[in-house]
């Protein structure tokens, strides 16, 4: 099933089809494979087959091709034998000579030349015709019926449960190719039987027809038939004399007297018959068989490209693999909700210290006004462009209940937490109330999402001194 010149065989076609139904690879893998085989860049089929070789191990279980080709081999061996025997028996039948009437060469020519030419013409039509016509033509070939009959034999069971779709054109060409092979075997059987009969018996050949054909015309036809070997083996072309003396009629009980007189010459037809078989039934068939094989291989190459999934792989072979993602996975951040409630709705009536994290002093006074908070003795801006040491100084000087304004949209950084922890550690500070403020543009109104961020962070501080005020006044 795999000729020397072809790159795709039935096996590789079926294996690739099976592999593609199970595995098609990722773009990254396929592109990397194509880059490693850059020499085959312009030979997609070769590249595909190499990809198949590399990925054979991915096919689960038995290869479909093995079962199918085993079946085909068993069937073909049996059919080959049958056709050889048939050819031999047909030869024996055609050449059986009872000593009374000569063997009519026209019968033999019909089997050795006319039928092969007719069958090859039908095969050629079938190759180039549509699926429906090809199906009809196949009914004319005995092989179709023999195969059908043989399908009831036990070895057909080998195909049970096998799932694959051989493209119709391939099935058709496979049938035609095998048809040529078996016809060739048949013809070899025919030729062997002719040679054995010629050696083992004394056959008198003649020709007889109902049609009004003169010996000259018949000789002319014979010359046309023998045109291919006339110059190489002239003795294999019967002479006009031989044609004339071997013409007989079945009317009457006795043969023509001149025929009886020239009985020793009548056997000379065998060379012509042998050459006709060799050239038409064997030579032409052999050429046609090889052509069909070549055509089948070409079809396999075309069909392999239309297998489901091949377009994806070829596209991936040829398309640069672009990756924009991180190679390592991100470790997911676990957010553990603390149980302590830190949010209060109501704030203190009076604060001893008012601090504004990342606010200027003016902004704090403005916020006090907007929130109806009476001015405390100590109002300080912390964070922002203050140095850390300056903030430490402010924290040290803070006392009593501290109101700490923060920008609600700015999540608490560790810098803030450091300052807060120092406030907590300050024994003069009895309580810290954090009041997140929205933007002035939104009249300090907060978004719940921001409050939640602050709440989670303050919960993690785990202090009895710190609270978040969540109210929109």
Partner 1 sequence: MIDKKDSYPKFAVVGHPNKGKSSIVSALAHDDTVQIGNTPGTTQVKRGFPLKVDGKIIYELFDTPGFQRARRILAWLQEHKPVSADKRADTIREFIYNFRDDDRFRDEIELLEPIMNGAGIIYVVDASKPYGAEYEIEMEILRWTGQPSMAILNLIGDEDYREDWSRALGQYFRLVRTFNPIKAKFKNHIELLESIAQLKEDWTDSIKDAIEILKKFHNQKIDRTVGIIKDTTIKSLSYVYRHKIKSKSATKEEYKLASNRYRRELIKYEKKLEKDILDIWKHRNVDVIDTAPIINDIGLFSKESESIFGLSQKELILTGASAGAISGAGIDLALGGGTFFLGSLFGGVVGGVGAMVGFDNLYNIKLLGQKIGKRELIVGPMKSHNFPYILLGRALYYASTLANRSHAIRDSLKLDDREFFIERVVDSSMRKKLERVHSIIREQKEPKEELLVEYQEVILESFKKLI
Considering the rule CB under 8 A, would residue 470 count as an interface residue with partner 1? no
Please give the Cα distance from 115 to 421 (Å, whole number).
Answer: 106
321 binds partner 1 (CB under 8 A): yes
Indicate whether 383 belongs to the interface with partner 1 (CB under 8 A). Answer: yes
Asked if residues 419 and 383 have their Cβ atoms less than 8 Å apart, the reply is yes
Please, are residues 402 and 432 in contact by the beta-carbon 8 Å criterion? yes
List C-alpha distances in Å: 99 to 86, 95, 205, 263, 416: 24, 11, 11, 11, 125
Among 147, 220, 256, 410, binds partner 1 (CB under 8 A): 410
Count of residues of this chain found to bind partner 1 when the rule CB under 8 A is applied: 46
- Residue 393 within binding range of partner 1, rule CB under 8 A: no
Q: Name the minimum Å distance from CB 389 to partner 1.
A: 8
Burial label, 404 (beta-carbon count in 10 A; 0-12, 13-18, 19+): buried
**Interface with partner 1 includes 161 (CB under 8 A)?**
no
Q: Pick from 165, 209, 235, 413 the residue near partner 1 by CB under 8 A.
A: 413
Q: To the nearest whole angstrom, how small is the minimum distance from the Cβ of residue 456 to partner 1?
A: 6
Is 210 among the residues that bind partner 1 (CB under 8 A)?
A: no
Instruction: Pick the closer one to partner 1 by CB: 149 or 322.
Output: 322
User: Min. distance of Cβ 449 from partner 1 in angstroms?
Assistant: 6
Give the 3-state secondary structure of residue 204. coil
Least distance from partner 1 to the Cβ atom of residue 295, Å: 23
Of the ranges 51-59, 118-126, 240-248, 410-418, which one interacts with partner 1 (CB under 8 A)? 410-418
DSSP string covering 168-211, please?
Answer: HHHHHHHHHHHHHHHHHHHHHHHHHHHHHHHHHS---EEB--SS
Of these, 335, 374, 464, 473, which contacts partner 1 (CB under 8 A)?
335
CA distance 307 to 280: 38
Task: Write down the least CB distance from residue 388 to partner 1, Å.
Answer: 5
The answer to whether the CB of 240 falls within 8 A of the CB of 254 is no
- 3-state secondary structure (DSSP) of residue 235: helix
Estimate to the nearest angstrom the gap between the alpha carbon of 44 and the chain centroid: 13
Whether the Cβ atoms of residue 400 and residue 353 lie closer than 8 Å to each other = yes
Instruction: Give the residue, chosen from 369, 388, 443, 471, that forms a contact with partner 1 under the rule CB under 8 A.
Output: 388
> Is 329 an interacting residue with respect to partner 1 (CB under 8 A)?
yes
> CB of 313: closest distance to partner 1 in angstroms?
14
Q: Which residues, in sequence order, are CB contacts of 34 under 8 Å at separation 6+?
A: 41, 47, 316, 317, 318
Nearest distance from C-beta of residue 59 to partner 1, angstroms: 24
Among residues 199 and 326, whose Cβ is nearest to partner 1?
326
d(CA 433, CA 343): 9
**Which residues inside 445-464 make contact with partner 1, applying CB under 8 A?**
449, 452-453, 456-457
Q: Which two tokens stand for residue 210?
A: 């109902």
Nearest 10 degrees: CA dihedral of 84, 89, 95, 99? 150
Least CB distance from residue 28 to partner 1, whole Å?
Answer: 9
Q: Which is nearer to partner 1, 235 or 448 (CB)?
A: 448
Contact between 440 and partner 1 per CB under 8 A: yes
Q: Could you say which residues in the range 417-436 bind partner 1, by CB under 8 A? A: 418
x-or-dash string of contact with partner 1, 9-48, rule CB under 8 A: ----------------------xx--x-------------
Any contact of residue 110 with partner 1 (CB under 8 A)? Answer: no
366 to 344, 361, 379, 404, 435: CA distances (angstroms):
23, 9, 12, 14, 14
Give 405: exposed, middle or buried? Use CB within 10 Å, 0-12, 13-18, 19+: buried
Closest separation between CB of residue 32 and partner 1, Å?
7
Tell me the C-alpha distance between 247 and 203, whole Å. Answer: 15
- Contact footprint for partner 1 (CB under 8 A): 31-32, 35, 319-333, 335, 358, 360, 383-389, 407, 409-415, 418, 439-442, 449, 452-453, 456-457
């Amino acid at each position: 099933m795999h000729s020397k010149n072809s790159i795709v065989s039935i096996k590789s076609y079926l294996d690739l089809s099976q592999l593609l139904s199970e595995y098609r690879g990722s773009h990254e893998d396929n592109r990397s494979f194509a880059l490693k085989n850059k020499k085959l860049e312009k030979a997609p089929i070769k590249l595909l087959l190499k990809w198949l070789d590399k990925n054979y191990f991915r096919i689960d279980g038995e290869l479909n091709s093995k079962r199918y080709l085993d079946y085909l081999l068993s069937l073909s061996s049996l059919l080959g034998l049958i056709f050889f025997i048939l050819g031999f028996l047909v030869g024996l039948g055609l050449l059986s000579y009872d000593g009374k009437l000569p063997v009519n060469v026209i019968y033999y020519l019909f089997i050795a030349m006319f039928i092969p030419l007719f069958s090859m013409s039908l095969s050629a039509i079938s190759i180039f015709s549509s699926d429906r016509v090809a199906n009809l033509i196949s009914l004319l070939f005995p092989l179709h019926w023999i195969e059908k009959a043989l399908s009831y034999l036990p070895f057909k069971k080998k195909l049970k449960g096998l799932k694959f779709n051989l493209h119709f054109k391939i099935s058709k060409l496979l049938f035609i190719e095998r048809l040529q092979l078996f016809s060739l075997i048949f013809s070899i059987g025919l030729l062997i039987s002719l040679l054995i009969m010629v050696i083992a018996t004394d056959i008198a050949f003649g020709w007889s027809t109902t049609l009004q054909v003169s010996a000259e015309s018949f000789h002319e036809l014979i010359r046309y038939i023998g045109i291919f070997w006339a110059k190489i083996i002239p003795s294999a072309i019967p002479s006009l004399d031989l044609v004339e003396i071997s013409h007989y009629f079945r009317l009457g009980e006795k043969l023509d007297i001149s025929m009886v007189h020239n009985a020793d010459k009548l056997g000379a037809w065998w060379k012509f018959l042998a050459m006709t078989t060799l050239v038409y039934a064997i030579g032409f068939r052999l050429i046609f068989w090889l052509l069909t094989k070549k055509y089948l291989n070409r079809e396999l190459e075309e069909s392999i490209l239309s297998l489901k999934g091949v377009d994806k792989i070829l596209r991936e072979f040829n398309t640069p693999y672009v990756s924009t993602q991180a190679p390592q996975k991100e470790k997911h951040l676990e957010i553990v909700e603390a149980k302590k409630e830190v949010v209060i709705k109501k704030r203190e009536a009076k604060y001893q210290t008012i601090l504004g994290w990342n606010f200027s002093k003016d902004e704090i006074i403005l916020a006090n006004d907007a929130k109806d908070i009476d001015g405390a003795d100590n109002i300080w801006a912390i964070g922002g462009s203050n140095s850390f040491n300056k903030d430490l100084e402010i924290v040290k000087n803070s006392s009593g209940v501290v109101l700490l304004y923060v920008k609600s949209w700015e999540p608490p950084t560790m810098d803030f937490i450091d300052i807060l922890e120092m406030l907590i550690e300050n024994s003069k500070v009895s309580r810290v109330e954090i009041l997140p403020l929205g933007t002035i543009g939104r009249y300090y109104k907060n978004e719940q999402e921001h409050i939640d961020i602050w709440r989670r962070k303050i919960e993690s501080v785990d202090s009895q001194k710190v609270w978040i005020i969540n109210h929109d006044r």
